[in-house]
Amino acid sequence: VSDAENWYCECPKLYTGKLCQFATCDENPCGNGATCFPKSSRDAVCLCPYGRSGILCSEAINITQPSFSGTDIFGYTSFLAYSTIPNITFYYEFRLKFQLANHHSALQDNLIFFTGQKGQGLNGDDFLELGLRNGRVIYSYNLGSGTATIISKALDLTLHIHVIHLGRNLQKGWLKVDDQKNKTVTSPGRLVGLNVFSQFYLGGYREYTPELLPKGPRFKNGFQGCIFDVQVRTSINQGFKSPGTPEGHPNSGRNVGQCKDSPCSLIKCRNGGKCIESGSTVYCDCLTGWKGAFCTETVSVCEPEHDPPHLCRQGSTCVPLPNGYTCHCPLGTTGTYCEQG
């Protein structure tokens, strides 16, 4: 933007500097493979990878029963990703249990698990997914010639833990939820094989937006609560096994905590800050005037977050003084706030 003699960069949100060259995540404070997300132009939030927790993801946690926090305020879902399940083409059975974080989450659009592909080339839009919508469990698959869907009866929310058993043999699929009756479906078209190459996602997606996924699945949010004892078999004379290589071990994950554990009970945000939990990620939401991981740093009078904002005109430099601030004017301007030519 040029202003008579003077030019300056009008920076998009979360970027600062004369040329908008500074972003919060440039000096990434997050460790151990965490996703850095800019909370503001001065502060970052670390979205922790699987097996890590804490504000900078520095603490190791042992996860036996993963808890998922749904979609966080930054639009990311918490998830676990396991290696592709082999031999799933013609026959599979899955068993799992889950516990909802609250009754409200049962009414949302929540993904429990998913594997599929994005319709690349001749590979079609094959997918397999399980989710919750309007208090019911929904099981869908597409073998390439259309989607088959089974919707359970409404969940009995007085139960603390729900049990799901589902399967498919060629075109015929079935779903059993808690002690409801078994429901069946036959997929449309002629194709009988499920061709999926993606990892097996539990609780959410790695992708930032569900729109990037194949055409069928439209579960916008990640699961909220705990999912445990996930097991699969791909032949009727096989035993059930946990997904993953080695068995039971995910390849990756984000924002996953251990069930019944509250990281916020271990973290003290200072100066009126509030601890926010999102899976295994925790951060302090600071009151106006404070910033930093534990809200211990003050916001300087010249920083954009300061309330009220300084009045130095764009292109000039705000310099803090013991009481107040002064504006250093670029060539061609003068006045208290560099407002005069």
Is-contact 229 96, C-beta < 8 A?
Answer: yes
Q: 52-94 pLDDT, tens per residue?
A: 888 888 888 888 789 998 887 777 889 999 999 999 999 999 9
Minimum mean pLDDT among 23-37, 50-64, 103-117: which range?
23-37
Token pair recorded at residue 137 = 């469990």
Is-contact 141 173, C-beta < 8 A?
Answer: yes
Is-contact 320 82, C-beta < 8 A?
Answer: no
> Which sign, positive or negative, has the C-alpha torsion 283, 289, 292, 294?
negative
> For position 312, what pLDDT does the model report?
93
Whether this model's pTM surpasses 0.85: no
Q: Distance between CA 255 and CA 260 in Å, rounded?
A: 15
Asked whether residue 118 carries a pLDDT value surpassing 80, the answer given is no
> For position 214, what pLDDT does the model report?
65
Q: 284-298 pLDDT, tens per residue?
A: 888 888 887 778 788
Beta bridge partners of 137: 132
Which comes out higher in pLDDT, residue 282 or 186?
A: 186
Query: Measuring CA to CA, how many Å separate 237 from each of 204, 229, 338?
Result: 31, 20, 81
Domains delineated in the chain: 79-258 (2.60.120.200), 306-340 (2.10.25.10)
Q: Measuring CA to CA, which residue among 105, 69, 101, 111 is closest to residue 283?
A: 69
Q: Distance between CA 256 and CA 279 in Å, rounded?
A: 5
Asked whether residue 40 carries a pLDDT value surpassing 70, the answer given is yes
Asked whether residue 133 carries a pLDDT value surpassing 70, the answer given is yes
Asked whether residue 338 carries a pLDDT value surpassing 80, the answer given is yes
Strands 224-233 vs 66-69: parallel, antiparallel or unpaired: antiparallel
Q: Distance between CA 327 and CA 107 in Å, rounded?
A: 53
> For position 120, what pLDDT does the model report?
53
For the stretch 107-124, what's the b/e string if a residue is b when 16 or more beta carbons lie within 10 angstroms of its beta carbon? bbbbbbbbbbbeeeeeeb
Three-class secondary structure of residue 298 per DSSP: strand
Q: Where does the pLDDT of residue 339 fall: very low under 50, low under 70, confident under 90, or very high at 90 and above?
A: very high
Asked whether residue 278 carries a pLDDT value surpassing 70, the answer given is no
**Angle at CA of residue 225, ends 48 and 136, nearest 5°:** 135
Q: What are phi and psi of 182, to 5 degrees?
A: -65, 135
Q: 220-276 pLDDT, tens per residue?
A: 788 999 988 899 999 998 999 999 988 888 999 998 988 875 667 766 788 999 988
Q: In terms of C-beta density within 10 A (0-12 exposed, 13-18 middle, 19 or more buried), how is residue 52 classed? A: buried
Q: 178-235 pLDDT, tens per residue?
A: 878 889 999 999 999 998 888 899 998 877 666 666 665 578 788 999 988 899 999 9
Q: 137-173 pLDDT, tens per residue?
A: 999 999 988 899 999 999 988 888 888 999 999 999 9
Which comes out higher in pLDDT, residue 125 or 10?
A: 125
Strands 6-7 vs 66-69: parallel, antiparallel or unpaired: unpaired
> For position 328, what pLDDT does the model report?
94
